[in-house]
Structure 1
């Protein structure tokens, strides 16, 4: 038999962890010595190995406790839970794959010296984290031919579009930092660049044929609970709105001549 310190040294577990397992109710010392100190033996070693084996295949400590708390601890209890646990692990693997892809994407942008702030970074990561949900939302609210233009963009093309979009965002930040007025040509050029980027995703003839139908569906979709991530701060949104107003006013003046 071993004291908790000796048992921890032999198994590689700290006394703090062993005490926590005891408090949780998944590892009890079978005996105590005359001084009342915990004593651990082969039975506790087997229990500890069982705990670690279950942790290895993804069971949480609480799930291990629930499994071991059954009136009769049998292999059948474990076997019954295996299919569910496999689904949990597959889901975690998919989440990890998305997280790794997001990190790779951000790292590539950083390697290219693209300026990132928390608003942009959060929006990028949010978009990648909930990509499947956003695809489902698009397909629910818009015609398939329109939704597919956004949801079926090849990886390389998406990365290129992201780089162009980040360049536009950086330009907006520069314009605001230098107090360039919304009616200035370089400010309005940003708006034109955004329009050009959108037109390269959605062909002009597709827009012309479906604009009325899509605007109606967009108004309906805006009332939905889904909130798309925004790359703009509130100040940047206000600045872009002022640019749009200035361009609209310029257009009206040219039409009146």
Structure 2
């Protein structure tokens, strides 16, 4: 079998442009020429083309396909196993992204559209939840972490709305120049904590310093918000405990 680039493109239902690109990157290079000095594709090129298409359907990028086909003893069986793992990981990440989008849309349905800053804050908060849980578990018992950041899907909508409220309020407070110890900020913090199924004593255990609380916030929030939130919590702690002599 000897086919010119146009004939080969028709035979395998692709475009001349695609074949030219494959040749340019060294993926499929015709090794012969006919009497008219035209590059021609042989039977081995046909087999290689279909192998390339097979690997493409499995999600391999062209540069990796080229490397694999250049190996003298590549195994399709091993490739299948490897790519299955890659695709499962991609599917998991897609599912996580779709879940995040669903949660964001639920918040927007409940509260109206978010501005860009609010949207990014909330998306990052959801995206980093597992990292946040790991950090919190260094300082709180697992039962307390579950109250702060519930994994139960039935509890998540309420948590997301609370999270949105808190993030938006503190960002607005920073933007308009409120002080962390101001009455408005302290009142909002008290209202939010009243909605969390967690006692103040659990949140501020005597053996846990507020410096550690601030360390958690710095890991979870933008720097300006973490600093503001940390100062607000210090003020809240002083009002709740030092005022009572505890």
In structure 2, how many angstroms separate the alpha carbons of the residues matched to 1:124 and 1:28?
Answer: 50
SS at match of 1:39: strand
In structure 1, how many angstroms separate the alpha carbons of the residues matched to 2:109 and 2:146?
Answer: 30
SS at match of 1:154: coil
Match of residue 206 from structure 2:
212
Tell me: CA distance 1:237–1:137, structure 2 relative to 1, closer, same or farther (3 Å).
closer
Q: Deviation string for 1:180-230 (max 9, x for gaps)?
A: 666664343223233334xx242346447xx134x259739949xx97331
Q: Do 2:103 and 2:160's aligned partners in 1 also have CA atoms closer than 8 Å?
A: no
Aligned length: 243
In structure 1, how many angstroms separate the alpha carbons of the residues matched to 2:213 and 2:200?
Answer: 23
Q: Which has the higher contact order (CA 8 A, sep 6+)?
A: 1
SS at match of 1:13: coil
Q: Do 2:55 and 2:65's aligned partners in 1 also have CA atoms closer than 8 Å?
A: yes
After TM superposition, the structure 1 = structure 2 runs for residues 16-31 of structure 1, keeping only pairs within 5 Å, are: 16-31=17-32
1:94 to partner: Cα distance: 0.9
Query: Which residue of 181, 199, 203 corresponds with 1:203?
Result: 199
Tell me: CA distance 1:218–1:44, structure 2 relative to 1, closer, same or farther (3 Å).
farther
Structure 2: segments with no counterpart, 5+ residues: none
TM-score, normalised via structure 1 length: 0.70
In structure 1, how many angstroms separate the alpha carbons of the residues matched to 2:84 and 2:218?
Answer: 32
- Does residue 102 (structure 1) correspond to residue 100 (structure 2)? The answer is yes
Q: Do 2:213 and 2:230's aligned partners in 1 also have CA atoms closer than 8 Å?
A: no
Q: Do 2:136 and 2:145's aligned partners in 1 also have CA atoms closer than 8 Å?
A: yes
In structure 2, how many angstroms separate the alpha carbons of the residues matched to 1:246 and 1:163?
Answer: 24
Tell me: CA distance 1:244–1:137, structure 2 relative to 1, closer, same or farther (3 Å).
closer
Match of residue 54 from structure 1:
55
Q: Do 2:122 and 2:163's aligned partners in 1 also have CA atoms closer than 8 Å?
A: no
Q: Do 1:182 and 1:246's aligned partners in 2 also have CA atoms closer than 8 Å?
A: yes
TM-score, normalised via structure 2 length: 0.73
After TM superposition, the structure 1 = structure 2 runs for residues 1-257 of structure 1, keeping only pairs within 5 Å, are: 1-8=2-9, 11-72=12-73, 77-112=75-110, 113-118=112-117, 120-139=118-137, 142-150=140-148, 152-175=150-173, 185-197=183-195, 200-204=196-200, 206-207=202-203, 211-213=205-207, 215=208, 219=212, 222=215, 228-230=219-221, 234=224, 236=225
- Between 58-67 and 123-132, the greater mean CA deviation after superposition: 123-132
1:97 to partner: Cα distance: 0.9
Structure 1: segments with no counterpart, 5+ residues: none
In structure 1, how many angstroms separate the alpha carbons of the residues matched to 2:169 and 2:80?
Answer: 53
1:84 to partner: Cα distance: 2.7
In structure 1, how many angstroms separate the alpha carbons of the residues matched to 2:81 and 2:16?
Answer: 34
Q: Do 1:115 and 1:170's aligned partners in 2 also have CA atoms closer than 8 Å?
A: no
Tell me: CA distance 1:146–1:63, structure 2 relative to 1, closer, same or farther (3 Å).
same
1:53 to partner: Cα distance: 1.0
Name the Cα RMSD after superposition. 4.1
